[in-house]
């Protein structure tokens, strides 16, 4: 998904903690943990694997892939409070 500039400006500084909080608001469940890797799943089969480092932000390419893995739309970004 290509993100409009005003949306990307709100997403580009997303920290690992903010991303995990959004996953939890959307009822994703922590499935397994191996070191810094955490795998979250949804009952519909979606899966997202993140590398958790407290307080760190994701680079633009990794962040785009993580957001794509969630399958969230722009409406979903608002619902899980990633954007205003």
Write out the chain's pLDDT in tens, 84 residues. Answer: 788 999 999 999 899 999 999 999 999 999 999 999 999 999 999 999 999 999 899 999 999 999 999 999 999 999 999 999
CB half-sphere exposure, 23, CA atoms < 13 A: 27
pTM as predicted: 0.91
CATH superfamily of 5-79: Hypothetical protein. (3.30.920.30)
Contacts (Cβ under 8 Å, ≥6 apart) of 6: none
Domain ranges of the chain: 5-79
The secondary structure of residue 57, as a DSSP letter, is B
Q: 34: which 2 tokens?
A: 């191996």
Residue 71 has a CB neighbour count (10 Å cut-off) of 12
Q: 35: which 2 tokens?
A: 């070191």
Whole-number pLDDT of residue 34: 95
């Amino acid at each position: 998904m290509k993100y409009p500039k005003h949306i990307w400006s709100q997403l580009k500084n997303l920290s690992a903690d903010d991303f995990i909080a959004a996953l939890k608001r959307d009822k994703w469940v922590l499935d397994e943990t191996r070191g810094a890797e955490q795998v979250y799943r949804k009952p519909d089969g979606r899966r997202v694997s993140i590398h958790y480092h407290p307080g760190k932000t994701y680079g633009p390419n990794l962040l785009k892939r993580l957001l794509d893995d969630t399958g969230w739309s722009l409406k979903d970004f608002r619902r899980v409070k990633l954007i205003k």
